[in-house]
A and B are shown apart, each in its own frame.
Chain A
Protein backbone atom coordinates (compact mmCIF):
# COMPACT_ATOMS: atom_id res chain seq x y z
CA UNK A 1 0.00 0.00 0.00
CA UNK A 2 1.00 3.60 -0.55
CA UNK A 3 1.45 5.75 2.55
CA UNK A 4 1.71 9.51 2.16
CA UNK A 5 3.72 11.09 4.93
CA UNK A 6 3.55 14.80 5.77
CA UNK A 7 6.87 16.49 6.53
CA UNK A 8 7.57 19.57 8.63
CA UNK A 9 10.39 21.92 9.62
CA UNK A 10 13.89 20.46 9.06
CA UNK A 11 12.44 17.26 7.53
CA UNK A 12 10.58 19.33 4.94
CA UNK A 13 13.66 21.45 4.29
CA UNK A 14 15.95 18.41 3.95
CA UNK A 15 13.75 16.76 1.31
CA UNK A 16 12.42 19.96 -0.29
CA UNK A 17 8.84 18.69 -0.22
CA UNK A 18 6.02 18.81 2.33
CA UNK A 19 4.88 15.25 1.61
CA UNK A 20 6.47 12.00 0.44
CA UNK A 21 4.96 8.65 -0.51
CA UNK A 22 6.37 5.28 0.47
CA UNK A 23 5.25 1.82 -0.56
CA UNK A 24 4.79 -0.67 2.29
CA UNK A 25 3.56 -4.23 2.32
CA UNK A 26 0.37 -4.80 4.29
CA UNK A 27 0.02 -5.06 7.21
CA UNK A 28 2.41 -2.28 8.22
CA UNK A 29 2.95 -0.22 11.33
CA UNK A 30 4.85 2.91 12.36
CA UNK A 31 8.07 0.99 13.10
CA UNK A 32 8.13 -0.33 9.53
CA UNK A 33 7.40 3.11 8.12
CA UNK A 34 10.22 4.61 10.21
CA UNK A 35 12.66 1.99 8.87
CA UNK A 36 11.55 2.46 5.25
CA UNK A 37 11.84 6.25 5.43
CA UNK A 38 15.40 5.99 6.80
CA UNK A 39 16.36 3.55 4.02
CA UNK A 40 14.80 5.48 1.14
CA UNK A 41 15.81 8.90 2.41
CA UNK A 42 19.18 8.50 4.20
CA UNK A 43 19.45 12.25 4.69
CA UNK A 44 16.28 12.08 6.81
CA UNK A 45 17.51 9.16 8.95
CA UNK A 46 18.98 11.16 11.88
CA UNK A 47 15.78 13.20 12.21
CA UNK A 48 13.42 10.27 11.60
CA UNK A 49 15.09 8.29 14.40
CA UNK A 50 14.17 11.08 16.86
CA UNK A 51 10.71 11.84 15.43
CA UNK A 52 7.25 10.87 16.59
CA UNK A 53 4.58 9.92 14.07
CA UNK A 54 0.94 10.91 14.00
CA UNK A 55 -2.02 9.15 12.43
CA UNK A 56 -5.12 11.28 11.84
CA UNK A 57 -3.85 14.10 14.09
CA UNK A 58 -3.00 11.86 17.08
CA UNK A 59 0.40 10.63 18.22
CA UNK A 60 0.88 6.99 17.23
CA UNK A 61 2.88 4.17 18.84
CA UNK A 62 5.54 2.05 17.10
CA UNK A 63 3.01 -0.79 16.69
CA UNK A 64 0.12 1.41 15.52
CA UNK A 65 -1.24 -0.02 12.26
CA UNK A 66 -1.22 2.02 9.05
CA UNK A 67 -3.91 2.17 6.43
CA UNK A 68 -3.77 3.72 3.00
CA UNK A 69 -6.36 6.44 3.65
CA UNK A 70 -4.98 7.55 7.02
CA UNK A 71 -3.30 10.95 7.31
CA UNK A 72 0.24 10.19 8.45
CA UNK A 73 2.74 12.79 9.62
CA UNK A 74 6.35 12.71 10.71
CA UNK A 75 6.67 14.95 13.79
CA UNK A 76 10.30 15.89 14.47
CA UNK A 77 11.02 17.04 18.06
CA UNK A 78 8.79 20.04 18.58
CA UNK A 79 10.03 23.50 19.58
CA UNK A 80 6.98 25.66 20.13
CA UNK A 81 6.70 28.19 22.90
Chain B
Protein backbone atom coordinates (compact mmCIF):
# COMPACT_ATOMS: atom_id res chain seq x y z
CA UNK B 1 0.00 0.00 0.00
CA UNK B 2 1.26 3.44 -0.96
CA UNK B 3 0.08 6.64 0.68
CA UNK B 4 0.89 10.34 0.69
CA UNK B 5 -0.96 12.03 3.51
CA UNK B 6 -1.44 15.46 5.07
CA UNK B 7 -2.47 13.83 8.36
CA UNK B 8 -0.59 12.28 11.27
CA UNK B 9 0.83 8.86 10.35
CA UNK B 10 -1.41 6.28 12.02
CA UNK B 11 0.88 3.41 13.05
CA UNK B 12 -1.88 1.14 14.34
CA UNK B 13 -3.63 1.39 10.98
CA UNK B 14 -0.33 0.58 9.21
CA UNK B 15 0.31 -2.44 11.45
CA UNK B 16 -3.22 -3.68 10.76
CA UNK B 17 -2.56 -3.26 7.04
CA UNK B 18 0.67 -5.33 7.05
CA UNK B 19 -0.65 -8.03 9.39
CA UNK B 20 -0.79 -11.49 7.85
CA UNK B 21 -1.43 -14.93 9.33
CA UNK B 22 1.51 -16.16 7.21
CA UNK B 23 3.92 -13.61 8.67
CA UNK B 24 6.34 -14.54 11.43
CA UNK B 25 7.91 -11.09 11.39
CA UNK B 26 6.71 -7.53 10.99
CA UNK B 27 9.12 -4.59 10.80
CA UNK B 28 7.88 -1.00 11.14
CA UNK B 29 10.34 1.82 10.50
CA UNK B 30 9.39 5.42 11.32
CA UNK B 31 11.45 8.37 10.20
CA UNK B 32 10.84 11.20 12.67
CA UNK B 33 11.60 14.90 12.34
CA UNK B 34 14.70 15.94 14.27
CA UNK B 35 15.23 19.26 15.99
CA UNK B 36 18.93 19.71 15.20
CA UNK B 37 20.91 19.44 11.96
CA UNK B 38 24.54 20.49 12.51
CA UNK B 39 24.29 23.84 14.32
CA UNK B 40 20.77 24.68 13.17
CA UNK B 41 17.70 24.32 15.36
CA UNK B 42 14.60 23.39 13.39
CA UNK B 43 11.18 24.28 14.74
CA UNK B 44 8.97 22.92 11.95
CA UNK B 45 9.30 21.07 8.66
CA UNK B 46 7.14 21.28 5.59
CA UNK B 47 7.17 18.57 2.96
CA UNK B 48 6.14 18.85 -0.66
CA UNK B 49 6.08 16.24 -3.42
CA UNK B 50 5.69 15.76 -7.13
CA UNK B 51 2.71 13.71 -6.09
CA UNK B 52 1.87 11.55 -9.14
CA UNK B 53 5.52 10.61 -9.64
CA UNK B 54 6.10 10.07 -5.92
CA UNK B 55 3.19 7.60 -5.84
CA UNK B 56 4.44 5.80 -8.97
CA UNK B 57 8.00 5.66 -7.69
CA UNK B 58 6.89 4.30 -4.29
CA UNK B 59 4.83 1.64 -6.09
CA UNK B 60 7.88 0.69 -8.20
CA UNK B 61 9.96 0.32 -5.03
CA UNK B 62 7.28 -1.89 -3.45
CA UNK B 63 7.30 -4.07 -6.59
CA UNK B 64 11.09 -4.34 -6.53
CA UNK B 65 11.11 -5.25 -2.83
CA UNK B 66 8.44 -7.91 -3.38
CA UNK B 67 10.50 -9.45 -6.18
CA UNK B 68 13.64 -9.46 -4.04
CA UNK B 69 12.23 -10.70 -0.71
CA UNK B 70 9.31 -13.03 0.11
CA UNK B 71 7.03 -10.36 1.61
CA UNK B 72 3.47 -10.87 2.75
CA UNK B 73 2.58 -7.18 2.85
CA UNK B 74 4.28 -3.84 2.35
CA UNK B 75 3.16 -0.32 3.31
CA UNK B 76 4.94 2.92 2.39
CA UNK B 77 3.58 6.21 3.74
CA UNK B 78 5.02 9.70 3.42
CA UNK B 79 3.59 12.73 5.11
CA UNK B 80 3.22 16.07 3.28
CA UNK B 81 2.57 19.59 4.52
CA UNK B 82 3.58 20.78 7.98
CA UNK B 83 5.14 18.25 10.34
CA UNK B 84 6.02 19.22 13.91
CA UNK B 85 9.33 18.17 15.47
CA UNK B 86 9.32 14.61 16.83
CA UNK B 87 6.49 13.40 14.58
CA UNK B 88 6.78 10.68 11.95
CA UNK B 89 7.30 11.99 8.43
CA UNK B 90 7.73 8.59 6.77
CA UNK B 91 6.75 4.99 7.55
CA UNK B 92 7.88 1.72 6.01
CA UNK B 93 6.23 -1.48 7.18
CA UNK B 94 6.75 -5.00 5.86
CA UNK B 95 5.70 -8.45 6.95
CA UNK B 96 7.35 -11.70 5.99
CA UNK B 97 7.56 -15.35 7.02
CA UNK B 98 10.87 -14.75 8.77
CA UNK B 99 12.59 -11.76 10.33
CA UNK B 100 15.71 -11.54 8.15
CA UNK B 101 13.73 -10.79 4.98
CA UNK B 102 11.57 -8.26 6.85
CA UNK B 103 14.58 -6.41 8.31
CA UNK B 104 16.45 -6.40 5.00
CA UNK B 105 13.48 -5.27 2.92
CA UNK B 106 12.55 -2.46 5.34
CA UNK B 107 16.16 -1.23 5.45
CA UNK B 108 16.48 -1.28 1.66
CA UNK B 109 13.08 0.40 1.19
CA UNK B 110 13.76 3.39 3.44
CA UNK B 111 17.22 3.95 1.91
CA UNK B 112 15.98 3.85 -1.70
CA UNK B 113 12.85 5.86 -0.86
CA UNK B 114 14.99 8.66 0.56
CA UNK B 115 17.22 8.59 -2.52
CA UNK B 116 14.63 8.41 -5.27
CA UNK B 117 11.10 9.48 -4.28
CA UNK B 118 10.47 13.09 -5.34
CA UNK B 119 9.68 14.58 -1.93
CA UNK B 120 11.38 17.67 -0.49
CA UNK B 121 11.57 19.11 2.99
CA UNK B 122 11.80 22.71 4.02
CA UNK B 123 13.37 23.44 7.38
CA UNK B 124 12.01 26.35 9.41
CA UNK B 125 14.66 27.35 11.96
CA UNK B 126 14.43 29.10 15.31
CA UNK B 127 16.05 32.14 13.66
CA UNK B 128 12.77 32.73 11.79
CA UNK B 129 14.41 31.74 8.48
CA UNK B 130 13.63 28.75 6.30
CA UNK B 131 15.19 26.88 3.38
CA UNK B 132 14.59 23.85 1.18
CA UNK B 133 16.89 20.89 1.74
CA UNK B 134 18.70 19.66 -1.38
CA UNK B 135 21.55 17.30 -0.41
CA UNK B 136 24.74 18.03 -2.32
CA UNK B 137 23.67 21.52 -3.40
CA UNK B 138 25.37 24.40 -1.67
CA UNK B 139 22.89 26.84 -0.19
CA UNK B 140 23.26 30.40 -1.47
CA UNK B 141 22.09 33.28 0.69
CA UNK B 142 19.16 33.80 -1.68
CA UNK B 143 17.83 30.32 -0.84
CA UNK B 144 17.27 31.30 2.77
CA UNK B 145 14.10 33.28 3.20
CA UNK B 146 12.69 35.08 6.20
Residue in B31, B136, B140, B142 whose beta carbon sits within 8 Å of that of A77 in the complex: B136
The reply to whether the CB of B143 lies closer than 8 angstroms to some CB of chain A is yes
The reply to whether the CB of B133 lies closer than 8 angstroms to some CB of chain A is yes
Asked if B134 and A80 make an inter-chain contact with CB atoms under 8 angstroms apart, the answer reads no
Asked if A79 and B137 make an inter-chain contact with CB atoms under 8 angstroms apart, the answer reads no
Asked if A73 and B135 make an inter-chain contact with CB atoms under 8 angstroms apart, the answer reads no
Chain A contributes a number of interface residues (CB within 8 A of B) equal to 22
Asked if B53 and A80 make an inter-chain contact with CB atoms under 8 angstroms apart, the answer reads no
Asked if B145 and A46 make an inter-chain contact with CB atoms under 8 angstroms apart, the answer reads no
Asked if A10 and B113 make an inter-chain contact with CB atoms under 8 angstroms apart, the answer reads no
Given A46-B137, A50-B137, A78-B116, A57 and B56 contact (CB-CB distance below 8 Å): yes
Q: Which residues of B contact A69 (CB under 8 A)?
A: none
Asked if B114 and A80 make an inter-chain contact with CB atoms under 8 angstroms apart, the answer reads yes
Smallest distance from the beta carbon of A44 to chain B beta carbons, Å? 11
Q: Which residues of B contact A76 (CB under 8 A)?
A: 120, 132, 134, 137
User: What 1/0 flags go to B116-128 for Cβ under 8 Å of A?
Assistant: 1111111000000
Asked if B136 and A8 make an inter-chain contact with CB atoms under 8 angstroms apart, the answer reads no
Given A50-B137, A77-B137, A80-B78, A57 and B132 contact (CB-CB distance below 8 Å): no
Q: Which residues of B contact A58 (CB under 8 A)?
A: 53, 56
Q: A76-B137, A79-B120, A80-B49 are in contact. List 5 more A-B contacts (CB 8 A).
A: A8-B120, A78-B115, A78-B135, A79-B133, A81-B114
- A: residues with CB less than 8 A from B are 6, 8-10, 13-14, 43, 46-47, 50, 54, 57-59, 73, 75-81
- B: residues with CB less than 8 A from A are 31, 47-50, 52-54, 56-57, 78, 89-90, 110, 113-122, 131-138, 140, 142-143, 145
